[in-house]
């Protein structure tokens, strides 16, 4: 920019013939080249334009302060996540040092004794088993309801039922736990007895006593995560482009074929994410399982008998009696739970971010 | 349906029936259902396998099999599949509605037993195992204070964080914050409880309390705010993104600085949606038991000071009463559960109605 007026000034006076060849070929070179010079001269004299009239950014103005404030709030999130890990580790390590049994394999929880012995094995097993069983029950049903709400129900009914499902997702877990313990225990015990009588040859349907079993915990958990998975996957199904659905119908597809070829493939990442989020919720569920599981410390595949435990339920059940080491042991188990849910969540989020169609929050 | 003589508008009168695909008559599906139920009842009671529940379950299976066979014979395989899947999807709805309706029914029928003035006017102080009275006043006070403090902490923090992500943040750092906010939504509530236990109750609170760790309502509020933060950030973020860019550009064109544009133009436009998100997160926090159990201590007496001594909350009250041996405690637990659900649902419904009136839309 800085060179241009210089060069055209020379052109007007006829200097620098070597570089000006192309300008001359255009004809009337002197006039054309001179015009910008006459326009530009007053600019150079007065120093106006080019943004010079705007106020300069102040070093410590309100803008900077506000920006810094929001940045600090953003950083707080990262700090909190880091702090959770740091403080849990800090409190867990002394208890783990005091543990005289193998933390990963020992089946029992006696951190308050003098040679403290406690192990996460049975708890982690129970956590995973109840969560996976719950998902196994809840996911097909939830997807069915979501498909019904999005593609079968009349629009008004679908919206109304979707609203009710959202409300059910907000019901506190302690209510489901109380229901499972006070009411649902009876039907499930009957079901357990029936299953054992007729399907007892399958090892997981073992002998009683029936009552607060893994089956009860998983069923209650399934009922709890059902509204969450339903509401998330319904959003996904509703986002299917109408053009895709209409194209399938126009090609002669039945309604199910339309769902299978247009809706389900389109929503697959969203479904996976919804299931993973449901898994995260099921893994971390505390009170419902604390009220419905039998609280034992053995790895057993018999899902009908009294027993079962999970990391979170164990924390709730054993916290009141815990001493210094006991608290540390519970915090150590919470750290394991934190790690498991973190892995599940990061995987789910990675899937969501890879396909941006699904942007509903997991509230 | 093919046998009806009146031609519909969509069908040219000259078209012969042989060109149309054959279909099952309209009465086939209900007739099959009745037949399946009768057959299943006959088998179940005949061999004495179980009760009425089994009759229904077995009947549904028979119905699906019969429907597939009939449709396969008359309409072809594709249509048969379509019918069976449609039936399965409808039965999924029924299957899910039953337990959820049972929860609601149990809640209302058992919860109304102790729904009296005494329940809302007294605490559990000096209430023994043989006393039928006693109430949740202390727990309601605790819930309101803890959720109130948690909201006061979370809302400014969450809204500012969302403003950073939407308005200022660029590049990898903003993406990392966004990502970890999402990850934070999945942190189990018991882990946030343990975090506040390790951080506040065991390490920080002894400084103020002669070296002894002190449980308090404030600690519970801290744990709840960790739970609420990601929900508030995410909903605020979504609402801010929905604010039309011309509004911002108009403000910039008038020479308004960016921070003032955000505070005076963007935030007021997105306000209804932000309030909805905040109310939903409050509803979720009010129902949380686990963190309160770990850090609030849960006393039986009324404590109006959230910064000192144990406090209870409604959810914790339900859990504690559920674990007590007294024959009167289940009634108290259910009434408290009903109160809690009503509180949470009122908040949720209000939030959803507010969202419906929101001009920006989701």
Provide ipTM, 2 decimals. Answer: 0.86
In this predicted structure, what is the pLDDT of residue A33? 41
Tell me how close the Cα of B7 comes to any Cα of chain A, in angstroms: 22
Among residues of chain B, what percentage have pLDDT more than 90? 43
Q: Give the 3-state secondary structure of residue B22.
A: coil
Residue carrying structure tokens 């090609």: A251
| Measured distance between the N- and C-terminal CA atoms of chain B, rounded to whole angstroms | 42
A301: left (phi over 0), alpha (psi -120 to 50) or beta: alpha
Phi, psi (degrees; rounded to nearest 5) at B337 = -65, -40
Mean pLDDT check: name the lowest of A50-54, A176-180, B38-42, B312-316.
A50-54
- Best residue in B103, B143, B310, B313 for a mutation probing chain A (most A CBs within 10 Å): B103
Residues of A with CB below 8 A from B340's CB? 172, 174-175
pLDDT band for position B362 (50/70/90)? very low
Residue A171 — φ and ψ, nearest 5°? Answer: -65, 130
Say yes or no for a CB contact (<8 Å) between B187 and A316.
no
Which residues in chain B have Cβ-Cβ distances shorter than 8 Å to A309?
Answer: none
Give B89's contacts in chain A (Cβ within 8 Å). 144-145, 147-148, 152
**Residues near B169 by beta carbon (within 8 Å), at least 6 away in sequence:** A74, B175, B177, B178
Find chain A residues with C-beta within 8 A of B160's C-beta. Answer: 69-70, 72-74
Spatial distance between the Cα atoms of B305 and B311, rounded to a whole number of angstroms: 8
Task: Give the model's pLDDT for residue A128.
Answer: 92
**A272-304 residue pLDDT tens:** 888 988 898 899 889 999 999 988 888 888 888
Residue A174 has its nearest CB partner, among B194, B315, B345, at B315
Of A26-40, A70-84, B89-103, the one with minimum mean pLDDT is A26-40
pLDDT band at A347 (very low <50, low <70, confident <90, very high): confident
* Cα-Cα end-to-end distance for chain A: 55
pLDDT score for B147:
95
**Which residue has better confidence, B28 or B84?**
B84
Long-range pairs, B350-355, Cβ under 8 A, ≥24: B350/B279, B351/B275, B351/B276, B351/B277, B351/B279, B351/B280, B351/B283, B352/A163, B352/A166, B352/B276, B354/B272, B354/B275, B354/B276, B354/B279, B355/B272, B355/B273, B355/B276
Question: pLDDT at residue B29 above 80?
Answer: yes
Mean pLDDT, rounded, for A338-362: 72
| Spatial distance between the Cα atoms of A240 and A233, rounded to a whole number of angstroms | 11
Interchain proximity B188–A284, CB inside 8 Å: yes
Tens of pLDDT along B182-220? 888 888 999 999 999 999 988 888 888 787 888 899 999
* A110: nearest Cα among A279, A313, A302, A323: A323
- Tell whether the model's pLDDT for residue B289 goes beyond 50: yes
CA-to-CA distance for B358 and B272, rounded, in angstroms?
Answer: 6
| DSSP states of B35-101 | HHHHHHHHHHHHHT---HHHHHHHHHHHHHHHHHHHHHHHT-HHHHHHHHHHHHHHHHHHHHHHHHH
Confidence category of residue A27, pLDDT binned at 50, 70, 90: very low
Coil, strand or helix at A262: helix
Please name the residue of chain B whose CA is at the shortest distance from the CA of residue A89.
B198
- CA angle at B196 for the pair B192 and B201, rounded to the nearest 5°: 155
Tens of pLDDT, residues B56-92: 888 999 999 999 999 988 888 899 999 999 999 999 9
**Which residues in chain A have Cβ-Cβ distances shorter than 8 Å to B330?**
182
User: Does A120 have pLDDT greater than 70?
Assistant: yes
In sign, the C-alpha dihedral spanning A285, A287, A290, A293 is negative
**Predicted pLDDT of residue A8:** 41
Domains of chain B, CATH where assigned: 23-111 (no CATH), 119-357 (1.10.3720.10)
> According to the model, what pLDDT value does residue B130 have?
78
- Position A14 scores a pLDDT of 41
Mean pLDDT, chain A, integer: 81
Cross-chain Cβ contact B262/A66 below 8 Å: yes
Question: Does A33 or B138 have the greater pLDDT score?
Answer: B138
Delineate the domains of chain A, giving CATH numbers in brackets: 4-46 (no CATH), 98-354 (1.10.3720.10)
Task: Using alpha carbons, list the distances in angstroms from residue A165 to A170, A229, B349.
Answer: 9, 10, 12
> What does the alpha-carbon distance between residue B249 and residue B261 come to, in Å, rounded to a whole number?
9
What's the whole-number average pLDDT of chain B? 87
Percentages helix, strand, coil for chain B, rounded to the nearest 5? 70, 0, 25
- Is the CB of residue A340 less than 8 Å from the CB of residue A280? no
List, for residues B101-132, the tens digit of each pLDDT value: 899 999 999 988 888 888 888 888 878 777 87
> What's the pLDDT at B179?
87
Res. A13: pLDDT tops 60: no
């Amino acid at each position: 920019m800085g060179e241009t007026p210089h060069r055209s000034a020379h052109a007007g006076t006829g200097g620098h013939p070597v570089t000006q060849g192309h300008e001359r070929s255009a004809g009337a070179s002197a006039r054309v080249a001179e015009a910008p010079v006459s326009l530009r001269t007053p600019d150079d004299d007065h120093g106006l334009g080019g943004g010079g009239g705007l106020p300069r950014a102040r070093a410590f103005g309100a803008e900077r302060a506000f920006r810094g404030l929001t940045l600090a709030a953003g950083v707080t999130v990262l700090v909190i996540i880091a702090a959770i890990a740091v403080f849990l580790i800090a409190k867990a390590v002394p208890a783990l040092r005091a543990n005289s049994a193998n933390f990963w394999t020992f089946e029992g929880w006696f951190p308050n004794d003098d040679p403290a012995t406690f192990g996460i094995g049975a708890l982690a097993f129970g956590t995973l088993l109840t969560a996976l069983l719950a998902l196994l029950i809840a996911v097909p049903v939830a997807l069915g309801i979501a498909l019904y709400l999005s593609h079968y129900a009349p629009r008004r009914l679908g919206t109304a039922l979707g609203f009710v499902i959202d409300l059910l997702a907000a019901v506190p877990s302690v209510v489901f736990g109380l229901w499972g313990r006070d009411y649902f225990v009876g039907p499930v015990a009957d079901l357990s007895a029936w299953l054992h009588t007729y399907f007892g040859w399958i090892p997981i349907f073992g002998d009683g006593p029936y009552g607060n079993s893994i089956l009860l915990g998983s069923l209650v958990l399934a009922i709890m995560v059902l509204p969450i998975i339903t509401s998330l996957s319904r959003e996904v199904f509703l986002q299917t482009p109408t053009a895709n659905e209409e194209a399938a119908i126009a090609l002669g597809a039945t309604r199910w074929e339309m769902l299978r070829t247009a809706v389900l493939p389109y929503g697959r990442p969203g479904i996976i994410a919804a299931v993973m989020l449901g898994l995260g919720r099921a893994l971390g569920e505390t009170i419902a399982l604390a009220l419905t599981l039998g609280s034992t410390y053995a790895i057993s595949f018999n899902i009908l008998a009294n027993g079962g435990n999970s990391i979170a339920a164990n924390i709730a059940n054993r916290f009141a009696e815990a001493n210094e080491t006991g608290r540390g042991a519970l915090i150590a188990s919470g750290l394991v739970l934190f790690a498991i849910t973190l892995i599940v969540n990061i995987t789910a989020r990675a899937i969501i971010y890879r396909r941006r169609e699904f942007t509903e929050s997991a509230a | 349906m093919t046998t009806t003589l009146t031609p519909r508008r969509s069908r040219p009168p000259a078209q012969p029936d042989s060109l149309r695909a054959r279909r099952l008559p309209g009465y086939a599906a209900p007739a099959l259902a009745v037949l399946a139920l009768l057959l299943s009842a006959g088998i179940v009671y005949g061999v004495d396998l179980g009760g009425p529940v089994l009759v229904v379950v077995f009947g549904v299976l028979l119905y699906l099999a019969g429907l597939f066979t009939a449709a396969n014979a008359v309409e072809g395989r594709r249509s048969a599949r379509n019918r069976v899947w449609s039936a399965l999807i409808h039965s999924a709805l029924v299957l899910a509605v039953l337990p959820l309706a049972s929860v609601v029914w149990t809640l209302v029928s058992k919860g109304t037993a102790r729904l009296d003035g005494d329940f809302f006017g007294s605490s559990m102080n000096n209430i023994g195992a043989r006393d039928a009275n006693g109430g949740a006043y202390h727990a309601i006070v605790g819930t309101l204070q803890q959720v109130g403090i948690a909201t006061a902490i979370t809302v400014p923090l969450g809204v500012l964080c969302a403003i950073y992500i939407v308005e200022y943040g660029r590049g990898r750092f903003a993406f990392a914050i966004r990502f970890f906010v999402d990850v934070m939504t999945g942190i189990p509530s018991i882990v946030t409880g343990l975090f506040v236990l390790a951080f506040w109750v065991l390490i920080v609170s002894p400084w103020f309390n002669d070296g002894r760790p002190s449980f308090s309502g404030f600690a519970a509020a801290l744990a709840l705010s960790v739970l609420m933060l990601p929900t508030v950030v995410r909903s605020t973020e979504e609402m801010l993104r929905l604010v039309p860019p011309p509004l911002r550009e108009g403000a910039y064109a008038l020479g308004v600085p960016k921070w003032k544009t955000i505070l005076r133009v963007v935030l007021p436009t997105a306000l209804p949606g932000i309030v909805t998100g905040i109310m939903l997160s409050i509803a979720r926090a009010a129902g949380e038991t686990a963190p309160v159990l770990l850090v609030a201590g849960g006393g039986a007496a009324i404590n109006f000071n959230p910064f000192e001594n144990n406090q209870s909350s409604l959810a914790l009250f339900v859990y504690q009463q559920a674990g007590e041996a007294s024959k009167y405690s289940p009634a108290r637990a259910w009434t408290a559960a009903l109160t809690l659900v009503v509180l949470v649902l009122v908040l949720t419904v209000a939030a959803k109605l507010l969202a419906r009136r929101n001009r920006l839309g989701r």
